[in-house]
Amino acid sequence: MAIDYAARRRYRHIDKFLNKVGPSTDPDFVAGAPTITALEESKVLVIGAGGLGCEILKNLAMSGFKDIHVIDMDTIDVSNLNRQFLFRKDDVGKSKAEVAAACVMKRCKDVKITPFNGKIQDKDEDFYMQFKIIICGLDSIEARRWINATLVSMVDMDNPESLKPLVDGGTEGFKGQARVILPTLTSCIECQLDMHAPRAAVPLCTLATIPRQPEHCIEWAKIIAWEEHRKDTILDTDEPEHITWLYEKALNRAREFNIPGVTYQMTQGVVKNIIPAIASTNAIIAAACCNEAFKLATTCNPNLSNYMMYTGDDSIYTYTFEHEQKPDCPVCGNLAKTITVNPNHTLRQFIESLGERPEAQLKKPTLRTESTSLYFQAPPSLEEQTRPNLSKRLGELVADGEEIGVSDPAFTIDFKFKLVFQA
């Protein structure tokens, strides 16, 4: 098939890579028309149309991809406008996916972007099977874990087309990461879960007696001062008067302990658990993700193997390494993950710890052994039947080294843990 290069002037920078063999191209790489056609026909799904998603959609359209799909459940808020550049003031309240798709297609008329307004969990395996590459620009660990488990479960060893590469990007302030996951072949998101540990809570005694950081003063105002002075009023984090009150209390607390740095903006961030979004970080990570998608679609260069970290707070620094698959990964492994527990802790304490452990992060777990049910979150009849176990010691319910199965409604898989008692 002949390529009309006059019509591809927008992509002339891309064609320099696709029209010749380089030192790192795949042995099966064919320069010219076949690869350009393969790129244009590659159907790509972008999950998320926020700060990272806007950058990804723009980059893909400018990189020669012609068949792009995007899914996002959110609508546009006025606070998005400072960095999510595909949106304007008149778009507030509209679907992010639909507005982003329309904006990019208006500028790149030869690109088709199909938007979906909804949750990724609402789509079945047939939906995801149609795509060649899936790119995540999510701000949710739970959503990442869900799509990761779904793509792993889709793999059929007898059907190579069932393996869908996942390119995942994430940002947090001046930090970010990009990674390439080949389901069942490389380390998956669940293998790397302990790199996204939940933030440690500040002990209440620290807030009450010896605050050391401005954030401690703000947490004190939110948790302790509000309860003492305004317990009959429900705290509304979107109400300016409430934020102002917390700010003034936190500022006085900070002055009492000679702690500088409390501001109104910081108060908003701490109370709402907001991590400032940095547009330049989004741009860098989106560029890395789209670069990987381009390489996967064309085989013009080896893809990332398999994790790139970026930090831009003190300087501009990147580090690339290969994260290894874990044999005891509950998604792509086949062994139970070993967890050391105190046999004198109650089942309730163990369940609470599953939400805090970096390698678990399960919020509503149902637990069972091979022979008995330990605790069911639902239905109500089974929850009531297994509720007495919550106050029993682990040593009464399971044996040292016994495996338990754990399920959580947020995920499509069951987890296996081997409980080893502390000496």
CA-to-CA dists, residue 204 to 5, 256, 295, 352, 406, angstroms = 66, 18, 50, 18, 31
Q: How many residues does the chain have?
A: 423
CB count in 10 Å sphere of residue 252 = 13
Active-site residue (options: 191, 205, 217, 289): 205
DSSP 11: G
Maximum distance among all alpha carbons in the chain? 76
Cα separation, 171 vs 154, in Å, equals 27
Active site annotation includes 54: no
Cα separation, 330 vs 282, in Å, equals 30
CB count in 10 Å sphere of residue 209 = 9
The count of C-alpha atoms lying within 13 angstroms of the C-alpha of 330, restricted to the half-sphere facing its C-beta, is 26
Tell me the torsion sign for CA atoms 374, 378, 382, 386.
positive
Q: Report the candidate in 381, 375, 382, 385 with the shortest Cα–Cα distance to residue 408.
A: 375
* Burial of 328 from C-beta contacts in 10 A (0-12 / 13-18 / 19+): middle
DSSP 126: H
CB count in 10 Å sphere of residue 229 = 12
> φ, ψ for residue 303 (rounded to 5)?
-80, 165
Strands (E), 164-257: 166-172, 175-181
Q: Report the candidate in 58, 111, 114 with the shortest Cα–Cα distance to residue 86.
A: 58
Please name the amino acid found at residue 152.
V
Cα separation, 295 vs 308, in Å, equals 15
CA-to-CA dists, residue 230 to 194, 222, 236, angstroms = 38, 10, 12
Q: Report the candidate in 379, 220, 231, 298 with the shortest Cα–Cα distance to residue 39.
A: 298
DSSP 94: S
Residues 6+ apart with CB under 8 A from 320: 304, 307, 308, 309
* Burial of 388 from C-beta contacts in 10 A (0-12 / 13-18 / 19+): exposed
> Which residues does the annotation mark as catalytic?
205
